[in-house]
C-alpha cells in the first residue's frame, strides 16, 4: 500500500485524484484496483465540515473486503483511520465513485494501522478496508471531515517540533484544521501565535474518534496554547478558530 503522503506544510492537496491500474503500486504484491464497492461496510452518507462517523467491522476471510461510501458536501480535508483489534494488520484504499484510485495506506498510523489524510473535492467516494496479505480480524474505522486552510504535519516522533507559518483567519467563521500522528504516547504542546491582524484566536484538539481533548480560548485577544496534553498513540486534529477579527498566525506543535 502507499504510505501516507508527506508534503511540505502548504495549502496543497495531499491526495492526487487520478485513475490507476494494477501497476499503481509496484511495491505491493497484493494490490488490485476494485471494480465494485465491496459489501459488508457502511454508508456514511453526506458529510459536512466537522462531520465524523465510524463503524466496527471484521475481515473474515483472506479475500474479504469492506466498502464504506461517503459524500463530501464541500471541498474538505479528510482523515480516515483504521484501528486494528488484537494486532490485526489492515489497509485502506480510497477511490472516487467512478472507481479511480486516489490513495492507499497500510501502516502510516500507529503500529500497523493505516491512516489516510488529504484534500478532496466535493463529491462521492468510497474506502476499501481489508487485511494485509490476507490476514483476518476485527477493526474500527473512523472518518473526520474538516475545513480547508490547515496542513498535515504527518507522523511526529518524540521529541519533535513542527511549525506552520502560513496560517490566516479571514473572519469569525473561518476554521483551519491541522493533522498529526504520534506512534507512541507523548506529552504534546500546541502554540498559536498571531503575527498580524486583530483576531481573537482559539484552539481545539480532537482525537481520531472525534472526541474533544482540549479547547482553549485565551482571555481577551491573548494567544491561546494547549500545554502538556497527555496523548496516546493515534492521529489528532488541531482546529484554529477565532471569536472575532481576522489576521495571520503561526501554529507550532511540540511532542515530548
What is the pTM (predicted TM-score) of this model?
0.89
Domain ranges of the chain: 42-146, 151-255
State whether the Cα torsion 57-35-45-117 is positive or negative: positive
Structure confidence by residue, pLDDT tens digits, 146-193: 999 999 999 999 999 999 999 999 999 999 999 999 999 999 999 999
pLDDT per residue as tens digits for the range 93-102: 999 999 999 9
pLDDT in tens, 16-65: 433 343 344 434 455 678 989 999 999 999 999 999 999 999 999 999 99
Does 151-255 match 42-146 at the fold level?
A: yes
CATH class as words, domain 151-255 = mainly beta
CATH fold of 42-146 reads Jelly Rolls (2.60.120)
Amino acid at each position: 500500500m502507499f504510505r501516507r503522503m508527506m508534503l511540505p506544510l502548504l495549502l496543497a492537496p495531499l491526495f492526487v485524484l487520478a485513475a490507476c491500474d494494477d501497476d499503481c503500486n509496484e511495491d505491493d504484491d497484493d494490490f488490485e484496483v476494485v471494480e465494485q464497492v465491496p459489501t459488508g461496510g457502511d454508508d456514511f452518507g453526506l458529510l459536512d465540515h466537522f462531520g465524523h462517523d465510524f463503524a466496527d467491522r471484521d475481515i473474515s476471510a483472506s479475500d474479504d473486503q469492506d466498502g464504506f461510501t461517503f459524500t463530501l458536501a464541500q471541498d474538505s480535508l479528510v482523515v480516515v483511520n483504521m484501528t486494528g483489534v488484537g494486532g490485526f494488520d489492515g489497509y485502506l484504499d480510497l477511490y472516487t465513485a467512478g472507481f479511480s484510485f486516489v490513495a492507499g495506506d497500510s501502516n502510516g498510523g500507529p503500529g500497523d494501522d493505516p491512516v489516510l489524510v488529504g484534500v478532496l473535492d466535493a463529491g462521492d467516494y468510497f474506502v476499501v478496508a481489508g487485511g494485509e496479505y490476507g490476514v483476518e480480524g476485527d477493526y474500527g474505522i473512523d472518518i473526520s471531515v474538516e475545513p480547508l486552510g490547515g496542513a498535515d504535519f504527518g507522523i511526529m516522533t518524540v521529541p519533535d517540533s513542527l511549525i506552520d507559518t502560513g496560517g490566516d483567519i479571514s473572519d469569525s467563521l473561518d476554521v483551519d484544521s491541522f493533522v498529526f500522528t504520534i506512534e507512541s504516547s507523548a506529552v504534546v504542546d500546541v502554540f498559536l501565535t498571531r503575527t498580524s491582524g486583530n483576531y481573537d484566536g482559539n484552539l481545539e484538539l480532537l482525537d481520531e474518534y472525534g472526541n474533544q481533548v482540549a479547547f482553549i480560548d485565551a482571555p481577551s485577544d491573548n494567544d491561546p496554547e494547549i500545554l502538556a496534553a497527555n496523548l496516546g498513540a493515534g492521529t489528532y486534529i488541531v482546529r484554529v478558530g477565532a471569536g472575532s477579527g481576522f489576521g495571520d498566525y503561526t501554529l507550532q506543535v511540540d511532542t515530548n
